[in-house]
Amino acid sequence: MFAIACSQQQYKTYTLVDKAANSVVEIVPERGGIVARWSIQGQEIFYLDAERFANPDLSVRGGIPILFPICGNLPDNTYTHNGQHYTLKQHGFARDLPWKVTDEDTQNQASITLVLESNETTRAVYPFNFQLAFTYQLQANQLAILQRITNHSAVAMPFSLGLHPYFLVHDKTQLQFTIPATEYQDQRTKTHHAFTGFDFEQDEIDAAFRPLNAANASVRDRDRGLQLHLSWDDTHYTTFVFWTQKGKDFYCVEPWTAPRNALNTGTDLISLEPGASLNTWVNMKITFL
């Protein structure tokens, strides 16, 4: 019923399959450990900008980029730790670095684990030793993403973590949202607003919802006849971001453990003690209307 295959395309690609559900996920370790594709019964779930994906010098727009050790950007891309200034570009480096496959399982699901270890490149901009382990579990119309962060440093390690999934949409006016918050901050203007819906005539929408009153959200796409159910670990995930651009066939709904600039402000910033590990998760499920 479950299978995992590896093929050499432009990048080595791992394909997870639930044959009974006709559900297929493609993961590309060397492109930031990204889930590049998910299809169910022939319907594509994710958006992917193929040109950007093919260019290793560009960040990927599509699939599920991984955000670590920051979510969003920092003022002037700079933060201070122990009196020293460091530079980190938007969303951190995990989405740009190659990950390694460490485990595969097809017993009761199609499951694969990818790992990213700290190295000289990461320590130059983020002075900590760490390991990230992401396990993607496919079963029927559900994709679970289990995350384990381990601090191998001799000091506490501050970080935030997030996912940036791009969902395919053809007509945004046919989307109906259930979001567990009553207000959001426009991340371009830094102004706060009550949430009454989205105006898709804007060139860009970048909304950060907090505080959250539940650990799940849903998006109903009446045009495509499907509904996304997104849930997360409310112990660690505190912020929910919606982002889209006019004229683009995607919308992003993003669980973050902290808001932008948390590495400087400390807001909801996770601090992991030396030798400790943190486990968290995000779950995505598709139902057809």
H-only helix segments in 31-154:
50-54, 120-125
Tens-digit pLDDT profile for residues 90-105: 999 999 999 999 999 9
Cβ-based neighbours of 11, under 8 Å, separated by 6 or more? 28, 30, 31
The answer to whether the CB of 184 falls within 8 A of the CB of 177 is no
Distance CA 165, CA 95 (A): 12
Beta bridge partners of 227: 220, 287
Tens-digit pLDDT profile for residues 35-84: 999 999 999 999 999 999 999 999 999 999 999 999 999 999 999 999 99
Average pLDDT on 118-127 reads 97
Residue 264 placed within a domain: yes
- Going by pLDDT thresholds of 50, 70 and 90, the confidence category of residue 18 is very high
Q: How many domains does the chain have?
A: 1
Residue 230: per-residue pLDDT: 98
Tens-digit pLDDT profile for residues 140-174: 999 999 999 999 999 999 999 999 999 999 999 99
Residue 259 placed within a domain: yes
Q: Which helix (H) or strand (E) holds 87?
A: strand 84-87
Tens-digit pLDDT profile for residues 248-273: 999 999 999 999 999 999 999 999 99
Range of the domain at 15: 2-165+246-288
The answer to whether the CB of 233 falls within 8 A of the CB of 282 is yes
Residue 222: per-residue pLDDT: 98
Residue 131: per-residue pLDDT: 98
Residue 216 placed within a domain: no
Residue 56 placed within a domain: yes
Residue 30 placed within a domain: yes
Strand segments (E) across 100-203? 100-105, 110-117, 130-139, 142-151, 157-159, 162-163, 166-168, 175-178, 183-186, 192-194
Burial letters for 177-193: b for 16+ Cβ neighbours within 10 Å, e otherwise?
eebebeebbebeeeeee
Residue 36 placed within a domain: yes
% pLDDT > 70, the chain: 100
DSSP string over 209-262: E-S-SSSEEEEEETTTTEEEEEEE-TTT--EEEEEEETT-SEEEEEEESS-TTH
Residue 81: per-residue pLDDT: 92
Residue 107: per-residue pLDDT: 95
Tens-digit pLDDT profile for residues 279-289: 999 999 999 99
Residue 194 burial (C-beta neighbours within 10 Å; 0-12, 13-18, 19+): exposed
Tens-digit pLDDT profile for residues 179-194: 999 999 999 999 999 9
Residue 121 burial (C-beta neighbours within 10 Å; 0-12, 13-18, 19+): exposed
User: Could you tell me the CATH number of the domain that includes residue 138?
Assistant: 2.70.98.10
Using alpha carbons, select from 279, 165, 278 the residue that is nearest to residue 217. Answer: 165
Residue 236 placed within a domain: no
Query: Average model confidence (pLDDT) for the chain?
Result: 97
Residue 183 placed within a domain: no
Residue 239: per-residue pLDDT: 98
Beta bridge partners of 150: 131, 277
For residue 80, the SS3 value is strand
Residue 257: per-residue pLDDT: 98
Distance CA 216, CA 74 (A): 27
Residue 53: per-residue pLDDT: 94
pTM of the predicted model, to two decimals? 0.97
